[in-house]
């Protein structure tokens, strides 16, 4: 639809020289002339600042002396129906809305962490492509929905500016999406390399610095494209109310040097994306020939990189030819949707499809680790039991406590049962928490946690701190103190267990005397049939009394004849 031509007409005559009839309504001609109103061939009356429709059913009913029309309709009102640009735009907007839902689903899937975050691979790096996808969908829908009023407005005004502004933002967003997809693929390849061997790819050298500076250069050119387009006067774009006005105002603005340079910057962004893909293939796929390098390109990039090339190409086209530009009110509809919106929409759907068919990176990394573990076990001849074996054999204590309904008291009771070697009782009837009846002759054992002061006041409580030099004994005393704090009433059972173990150890006889004791007795060790030790140095010595050697004060000092004596 071509908007109305604005040529000045003379006011038609009325009943007298001060009267004119417009749309069947009489107006004061003197008032119209005083307020500088003019009548145009497109059915409007305007004085340069205000514009009103004069054809039925939008004709004003009265003109006040102050130049105000009663019941008037502005020229910039949606009086037309939905045309081709608006109808197709609504369809594209719905498709972009569906793409937004798919993008958010993929963001949730691939942005979720299943492994601890690594400083070298930030979690936000994998999410940027989905963030940019959401940005593209939002700007595209705003641009397409505002394009509805481009067709419906009688004279073009704000809608053509809004649809053009957000269309340019969509173009920048789709280039950033493709860049982040390619860049993150290289980062994912690097992560798979360094996971088995963190020192295989060091963060230094030419590869590291190229990957460091390349994103900065890309976003530099992308923002240059933004600053060439956005910070400018957009008012001349809406001056398309007649062919002369379009030729003199709108077309020169839409094809000026800034739009041409902006398309060049966007083309540089695409070339940097291709270079990033080649860099990642060189260092992570490591092909030996050009054919292998081409085969190493993922199918996703084979599809989206040519579509991304259409974006700067079409932007350069409209910077030189205004007839195919979305900035033109009656521009070529096929070119606008095929070159301006369709490539971005296809890239979004390709991204969403491959996002659904590929797993989360953390889960994939865990699978690769399991495969490496299985391969190493096979090389070493280790056979791992399946996961259900531990549950069946009882190796796992209380599996699924959170879902079985077992309380913390029951869980502590099961731990105490393993410590003391028997089933503890928790009530006076001799019944355990799991329903098994205990011996009636034993008193119930209360395993509730008590304060440290209560455990320290127990009569069997040993010194709270070991002051010797043995680290092993120090750790043992620390563990005993912790057990006394958690289970203060089980000390009697533990004391009995310690005494039983001491009696078992003493059944084989006392240990031999230390080197210092032998030195004081003035002799050297000799095997003794009773399991003790006798000292022979020329002086007689009495045997063991009560299983222990007596010390002699009359013995001569030991004479060391060789290192064997020591």
Instruction: Report which of 522, 538, 559 is spatially closest to residue 550, judged by C-alpha positions.
Output: 522
Beta carbons within 10 angstroms of residue 534's beta carbon? 17
Q: Is 526 part of a structural domain of the chain?
A: yes
Beta carbons within 10 angstroms of residue 438's beta carbon? 18
* 157 and 42 part of one domain: no
Q: Which residues contact 218 (CB under 8 A, 6 or more apart)?
A: 179, 269, 272, 273, 276
| DSSP H/E element including 380 | helix 361-380
* 41 and 184 part of one domain: no
Q: Is 136 part of a structural domain of the chain?
A: yes
- What is the bridge-based pairing of β-strands 44-46 and 51-53? antiparallel
Give the pLDDT score at 452.
Answer: 45
Q: Is the pLDDT at 168 greater than 90, yes or no?
A: yes
At 44, the pLDDT band (50, 70, 90 cuts) reads confident
Q: Is the pLDDT at 217 greater than 90, yes or no?
A: yes
* 146 and 224 part of one domain: yes
Of the three residues 314, 329, 359, the one that is the final residue of a domain is 359
pLDDT tens, 416-450?
A: 777 665 544 544 444 444 444 444 444 444 444 44
SS3 assignment, position 75: coil
Give the pLDDT score at 417.
Answer: 74
Beta carbons within 10 angstroms of residue 355's beta carbon? 20
Instruction: Report which of 289, 288, 285 is spatially closest to residue 301, judged by C-alpha positions.
Output: 285
Point out the least confidently predicted range of 55-64, 126-135, 337-346, 376-385: 376-385
End-to-end CA distance of the chain: 115
Give the pLDDT score at 490.
Answer: 64
User: How many structural domains is the chain composed of?
Assistant: 4
Q: Is 167 part of a structural domain of the chain?
A: yes
| Beta-bridge partner residues of 545 | 548
Q: What is the mean pLDDT of the chain?
A: 79
258/503 Cα distance (integer angstroms) = 97
Q: Is 382 part of a structural domain of the chain?
A: no
Which has more pLDDT, 481 or 220?
220
Of the three residues 46, 70, 94, the one that is the final residue of a domain is 70
* 307 and 172 part of one domain: yes
* 320 and 441 part of one domain: no
Mean pLDDT of 523-543: 44
Q: Is the pLDDT at 344 greater than 70, yes or no?
A: yes
Length of the chain counted residue by residue: 566
In angstroms, how far is CA 29 from the centroid of its own chain? 69
* 431 and 455 part of one domain: yes
Q: Is 78 part of a structural domain of the chain?
A: no
Q: Is the pLDDT at 221 greater than 90, yes or no?
A: yes
* 60 and 93 part of one domain: no
Report residue 35 as tokens. Answer: 């307020």
Point out the least confidently predicted range of 23-37, 242-256, 474-488: 474-488
Q: Specify the pTM.
A: 0.67
Beta carbons within 10 angstroms of residue 12's beta carbon? 11
Give the pLDDT score at 260.
Answer: 93
Mean pLDDT of 443-471: 51
Beta carbons within 10 angstroms of residue 157's beta carbon? 21
Eight-class DSSP state of 341 = I
Q: Which residues contact 131 (CB under 8 A, 6 or more apart)?
A: 107
Q: Is 71 left (phi over 0), alpha (psi -120 to 50) or beta?
A: left
Q: Is 402 part of a structural domain of the chain?
A: no
In angstroms, how far is CA 387 from the centroid of its own chain? 30
* 57 and 106 part of one domain: no
* 39 and 158 part of one domain: no
Instruction: Report which of 349, 269, 275, 277 is spatially closest to residue 309, judged by C-alpha positions.
Output: 269
265/109 Cα distance (integer angstroms) = 33
Q: Is 104 part of a structural domain of the chain?
A: yes
Range of the domain at 556: 513-537+551-566
pLDDT tens, 297-332?
A: 999 999 999 999 999 999 999 999 999 999 999 888
Give the pLDDT score at 33.
Answer: 87
What is the DSSP track for 267-333? HHHHHHHHHHHHHHIIIII--SSHHHHHHTS-HHHHHHHHHHHHHHHHHHHHHH-GGG-TTSTT--H
* 475 and 520 part of one domain: no
Point out the least confidently predicted range of 23-27, 104-108, 350-354, 505-509: 505-509
* 161 and 246 part of one domain: yes
Of the three residues 335, 359, 383, the one that is the final residue of a domain is 359
Q: Is 388 part of a structural domain of the chain?
A: no
pLDDT cut 70: percent of the chain above it: 74
Do the beta carbons of residue 240 and residue 5 sit within 8 Å? no
At 488, the pLDDT band (50, 70, 90 cuts) reads low
Which of 208-222, 439-453, 465-479 holds the top average pLDDT?
208-222
Report the half-sphere exposure of 542 (CA within 13 A, side-chain side).
11
pLDDT cut 90: percent of the chain above it: 36
Give the pLDDT score at 408.
Answer: 63
Point out the least confidently predicted range of 100-109, 227-236, 410-419: 410-419
Q: Is the pLDDT at 399 greater than 60, yes or no?
A: no
* 279 and 310 part of one domain: yes
Report residue 311 as tokens. Answer: 């974006």
pLDDT tens, 87-116?
A: 999 999 999 999 999 999 999 999 999 988
């Amino acid at each position: 639809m071509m908007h109305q031509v604005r040529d000045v007409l003379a006011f038609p005559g009325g009943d007298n020289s001060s009267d004119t009839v417009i749309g069947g309504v009489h107006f004061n001609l003197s008032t119209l002339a005083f307020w500088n109103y003019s009548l145009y061939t497109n059915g409007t009356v305007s004085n340069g600042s205000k514009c009103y429709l004069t054809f039925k059913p939008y004709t004003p009913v009265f003109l006040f002396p102050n130049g105000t029309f009663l019941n008037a309709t502005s020229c910039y009102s949606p009086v037309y129906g939905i045309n081709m640009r608006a109808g197709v735009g609504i369809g594209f907007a719905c498709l972009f809305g569906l793409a937004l839902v798919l993008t958010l689903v993929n963001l949730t899937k691939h942005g979720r962490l299943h492994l601890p975050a690594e400083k070298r691979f930030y979690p936000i790096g994998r999410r940027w492509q989905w963030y940019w996808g959401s940005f593209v969908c939002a700007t595209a829908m705003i641009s397409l929905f505002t394009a509805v009023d481009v067709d419906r407005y009688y004279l073009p005004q704000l809608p053509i500016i809004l649809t053009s502004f957000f269309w340019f933002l969509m173009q920048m967003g789709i280039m950033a999406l493709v860049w982040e997809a390619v860049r993150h693929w290289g980062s994912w390849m690097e992560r798979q390399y360094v996971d088995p061997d963190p020192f295989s790819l060091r963060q230094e050298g030419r590869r590291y610095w190229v990957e460091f500076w390349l994103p900065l250069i890309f976003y530099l050119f992308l923002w240059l494209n933004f600053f060439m387009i956005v910070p400018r006067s957009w008012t001349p774009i809406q001056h398309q109310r007649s062919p002369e006005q379009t030729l003199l105002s709108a077309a020169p603005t839409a094809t000026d040097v800034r739009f041409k340079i902006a398309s060049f910057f966007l083309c540089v962004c695409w070339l940097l994306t291709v270079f990033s893909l080649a860099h990642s293939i060189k260092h992570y796929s490591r092909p030996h020939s050009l054919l292998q390098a081409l085969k190493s390109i993922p199918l996703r990039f084979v599809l989206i990189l040519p579509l991304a090339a259409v974006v700067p190409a079409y932007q350069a086209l409209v910077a030189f030819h205004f007839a195919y530009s979305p900035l033109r009110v009656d521009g070529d509809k096929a070119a606008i949707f095929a070159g301006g919106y369709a490539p971005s929409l296809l890239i979004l759907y390709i991204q969403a499809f491959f996002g659904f068919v590929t797993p989360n990176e953390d889960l994939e990394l865990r699978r690769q680790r399991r495969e490496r573990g299985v391969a190493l076990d096979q090389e070493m001849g280790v056979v791992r039991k399946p996961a259900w074996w531990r549950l069946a054999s009882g190796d796992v204590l209380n599996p699924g406590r959170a879902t079985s309904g077992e309380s913390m008291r029951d869980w502590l009771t099961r731990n105490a049962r393993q410590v003391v070697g028997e089933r503890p009782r928790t009530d006076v009837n001799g019944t355990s928490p799991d329903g098994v009846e205990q011996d009636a002759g034993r008193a119930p054992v209360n395993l509730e946690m008590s304060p440290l002061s209560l455990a320290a006041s127990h009569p069997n409580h040993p010194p709270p701190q070991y002051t010797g030099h043995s680290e092993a004994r120090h750790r043992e005393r620390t563990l005993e103190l912790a057990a006394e704090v958690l289970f203060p009433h089980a000390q009697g059972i533990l004391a009995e267990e310690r005494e039983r173990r001491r009696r078992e150890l003493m059944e084989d006889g006392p240990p031999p005397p230390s080197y210092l004791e032998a030195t004081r007795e003035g002799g050297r060790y000799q095997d003794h049939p009773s399991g003790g030790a006798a000292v022979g140095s020329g002086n007689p010595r009495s045997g063991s009394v009560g299983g222990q050697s007596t010390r002699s004060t009359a013995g001569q000092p030991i004479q060391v004849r060789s290192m064997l004596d020591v």
